[in-house]
Amino acid sequence: MLQGIFGVHVNAGDGPAETLRRVNHAMLRRAIPSRFATVTYGCISSGGRLTYCNAGHNPPVKVGRGGRRRLVKGGLPLGMFHESGFEEETVQLDCGDVVVAFTDGITEALCPDGTEFGEERLLSCVESHLDLTAAALVDRVLEAVRQFAGAAAQSDDLTVVVLRYVGTSAGESCAHPRENAPIGVARPARGAPPGEGGGSTL
């Protein structure tokens, strides 16, 4: 349902905040009880300007040589309240920066003694492998989660999205040999059935 609603509203030329406001109203008009969605929606220019709005999702994190930045600007999950307001923010990505978006199945993955994987382990893994392609970085994160969890049963999906900014085609370029486009994105298959109310878009 959510993908169909986005398909109607995403090409209207509005920014992320206004787009999510429209999607929120469209979901509420469907009047499906107990149905909501957390979403991060962003638009990126070839020059690396990322404008995003985060509707109740785990904040994606920009990671690079300049450090970390959590992308928290936004509002409440979609489909909850008609009066919900949404804010957007624009951040500049530097050459080589990655943006990591993830579901809570990643950070809340449990090891056999009940300890959670956590955001710090996730970001430390990303920072330790910034030289990898977006696809390889996704694989490395998922492998780190699986090694941490061992044989412990997991109850949520494992989804991570990595976006790497590799410079402009006409200007600076820091592209990995196998990532020669301005943006590299990799999305893995989910590791378990998704929950009722989660999703992410970048």
pLDDT in tens, 136-154: 999 999 999 999 999 888 7
172 pLDDT more than 50 = yes
User: Residue with structure tokens 């696809």?
Assistant: 135
Per-residue pLDDT tens digits for 34-45: 678 999 999 999
Q: Confidence band (pLDDT; 50, 70, 90) for 193?
A: very low
- Contacts (Cβ under 8 Å, ≥6 apart) of 31: none
Structure tokens at 66: 């300049």
pTM of this structure: 0.82
Q: Confidence band (pLDDT; 50, 70, 90) for 29?
A: confident
**Pairwise CA distance, residues 64 & 43, whole Å:** 19
Domain ranges of the chain: 1-59+70-92, 95-194
User: Residue with structure tokens 């950070």?
Assistant: 107
201 pLDDT more than 50 = no
Percent of the chain at pLDDT > 70 equals 81
Closest CA to 138 of 164, 116, 120, 115: 164
**Per-residue pLDDT averaged across 68-95, rounded?**
95
DSSP 8-state assignment for residue 78: B
**Per-residue pLDDT averaged across 81-85, rounded?**
91
User: Residue with structure tokens 């020669």?
Assistant: 180
